[in-house]
């Protein structure tokens, strides 16, 4: 029922050695992967692989994302122990210099906090909060109710069968209560429910839904409101640019309002590709959520530059395709034309976000550098992706520079 993916890239080396850098730049993914689709750069002539060409010329020690966007919205980043536990001091310093809000990539998920019933381990979460507070950053808690990274016992009764509705509600109440007592109001935003909708707008089948029933979102938000009166309560999901899913999220907000259930914001994850979704679809969602009367957060932004392994892959963690050279065409560095495409995409995205700054609270990147991106291991393990604004050596990329320049255009 619950699937995890490993961060190990076993088998990657042999296969990536087969792909000449830049040579596979325009190759569509192979037929070995079921429902594989064409690369976004199918028709582009491949250009040489040149790591330096993708780097910023502006000095990233003198200008920051957070400062550049200070008048528009906050700029956040998802971090792990490399940053908050200072295992990578340069990354920790970079985050402190460039960002003004943080989301823990995994540390506030149920699996990280309460593996055994009632045994709470806040060691990592506390280190995360301490890092954020030391640097005066806003904290985004992620995530109270999700169908991944929840220990099996949460949904089970003593005999290993399915827990009852009352049992599950009681466990959730106790879990939230423990978090509320521990953190008080130090967490300013909470993803209360994460990824409860399918792309067609229907409710996703999860153990939460099966056990609690179709009205579980309202129950969960009411509970969160009781425990976290000072925090902003967020519904967070991916692919909210798809019309049916967008409409379902808007309906959710409207139903909550009708029933007097507090919901403060929609987090639109924004795991994007080079050409998809369209800027128009992104704008339509930002406008629709603002019109529904809630704050909007771009909560998990990245731009996947690799050939998609699946059609409509969204961010569904159950997808797991086999590694192939075609699906991992840039093992050494990104061809110049793809780096340029990515930089243009990042600039255009931030131009859109800037236009919606009145109701956009923040834009959070899902990782500080390409090295730490989840997209190196999803939906294919062991790939080399280039999904963020700093490269594997933490150097600012052209994409970073174009984002900074996009802020200047709006002044
Ligand atoms: O903590 C265990 C560790 O004990 C174990 O030894 C190791 C072995 O692989 O795994 C560790 O857990 C991993 C965890 O990250 C912490 O590193 C899981 O296997 C791995 O699946 C997990 O991946 C995370 C993924 O969510 C699944 O929960 C990614 O880091 C994280 O970036 C990703 O984030 C999600 C958001 O929460 C929701 N939206 C989509 C986004 C991207 O998938």
Mean pLDDT of 183-189: 98
Atom of ligand 1 at shortest distance to CA of 112? 1
Report whether residue 149 contacts ligand 1, using a CB cutoff of 6 Å.
Answer: yes
What spacing in Å lies between the alpha carbon of 81 and ligand 1's midpoint?
Answer: 12
Report whether residue 153 contacts ligand 1, using a CB cutoff of 6 Å.
Answer: no
Calculate the alpha carbon distances from 57 to 198, 214, 334, 385, 397 in Å.
Answer: 42, 52, 17, 22, 8
CA distance 16 to 355: 40
What spacing in Å lies between the alpha carbon of 149 and ligand 1's midpoint?
Answer: 8
Atom of ligand 1 at shortest distance to CA of 315? 40
Choice from 124, 318, 374, 375 to test ligand 1 binding pocket (greatest atom count within 8 A of CB): 374
For the chain, the structural domain boundaries read 53-388
Torsion angles phi and psi, residue 406, rounded to 5: -60, -35
> Would you state the pLDDT for residue 47?
65
Atom of ligand 1 at shortest distance to CA of 374? 32
What spacing in Å lies between the alpha carbon of 7 and ligand 1's midpoint?
Answer: 8
Q: Count CB-CB contacts under 10 A for residue 132.
A: 27
Asked if residues 227 and 176 have their Cβ atoms less than 8 Å apart, the reply is yes
Mean pLDDT of 357-372: 98
At 312, list the tokens.
């409509």
% the chain with pLDDT above 90 = 82
What DSSP designation does 314 have?
T
Catalytic machinery residues: 195, 300
> Would you state the pLDDT for residue 11?
28
User: 53-388 belongs to which homologous superfamily?
Assistant: Glycosidases (3.20.20.80)
Express each pLDDT in 88-147 by its tens digit.
999 999 999 999 999 999 999 999 999 999 999 999 999 999 999 999 999 999 999 999
The residue whose CA has the least distance to atom 8 of ligand 1 is 6
Tell me which of 24-33, 256-265, 301-310, 338-347 is least confident: 24-33
If pLDDT is split at 50, 70 and 90, which confidence band does 45 have? Answer: low
CA distance 67 to 403: 12
């Amino acid at each position: 029922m619950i699937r995890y993916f490993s961060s190990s890239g076993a088998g990657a080396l042999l296969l990536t050695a087969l792909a000449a850098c830049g040579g596979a730049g325009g190759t569509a993914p192979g037929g070995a992967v079921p429902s594989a689709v064409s690369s976004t750069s199918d028709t582009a002539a491949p250009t040489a692989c040149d790591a330096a060409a993708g780097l910023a010329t502006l000095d990233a020690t003198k200008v920051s994302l957070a400062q550049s966007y200070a008048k528009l919205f906050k700029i956040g980043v998802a971090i792990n122990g490399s940053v908050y536990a200072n295992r990578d001091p340069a990354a920790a310093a970079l985050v402190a210099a460039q960002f003004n809000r943080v989301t823990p990539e995994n540390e506030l998920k149920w699996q990280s906090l309460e593996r055994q019933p009632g045994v709470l381990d806040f060691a990592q979460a506390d280190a995360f909060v301490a890092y954020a507070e030391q640097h005066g950053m806003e904290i985004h808690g992620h995530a109270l109710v999700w169908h991944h990274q929840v220990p099996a016992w949460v949904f089970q009764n003593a005999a290993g069968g399915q827990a009852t509705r009352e049992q599950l509600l009681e466990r959730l109440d106790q879990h939230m209560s423990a978090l509320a007592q521990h953190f008080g109001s130090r967490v300013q935003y909470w993803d209360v429910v994460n990824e409860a909708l399918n792309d067609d707008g229907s409710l996703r089948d999860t153990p939460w839904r099966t056990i609690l029933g179709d009205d579980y979102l309202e129950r969960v938000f009411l509970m969160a409101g009781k425990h976290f009166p000072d925090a902003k309560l967020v519904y967070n999901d991916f692919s909210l640019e798809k019309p049916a899913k967008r409409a379902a999220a808007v309906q959710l907000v409207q139903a909550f309002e009708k029933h007097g259930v507090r919901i403060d914001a929609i987090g639109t994850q924004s795991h994007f590709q080079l050409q998809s979704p369209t800027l128009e679809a992104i704008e339509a969602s930002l406008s629709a959520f603002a019109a529904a009367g809630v704050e909007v957060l771009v909560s998990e932004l990245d731009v996947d530059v690799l050939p998609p392994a699946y059609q409509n892959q969204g961010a569904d963690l159950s997808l797991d395709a086999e590694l192939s050279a075609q699906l991992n065409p840039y093992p050494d560095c990104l061809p110049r034309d793809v780096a340029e495409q990515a930089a243009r995409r990042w600039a255009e995205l931030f131009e859109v976000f800037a236009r919606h700054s009145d109701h956009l609270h923040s834009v959070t990147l899902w990782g500080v550098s390409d090295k730490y991106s989840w997209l190196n291991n999803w939906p294919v393990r062991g790939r080399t992706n280039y999904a963020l604004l700093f490269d594997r050596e933490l150097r600012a990329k052209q994409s970073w520079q174009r984002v900074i320049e996009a802020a200047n255009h709006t002044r």
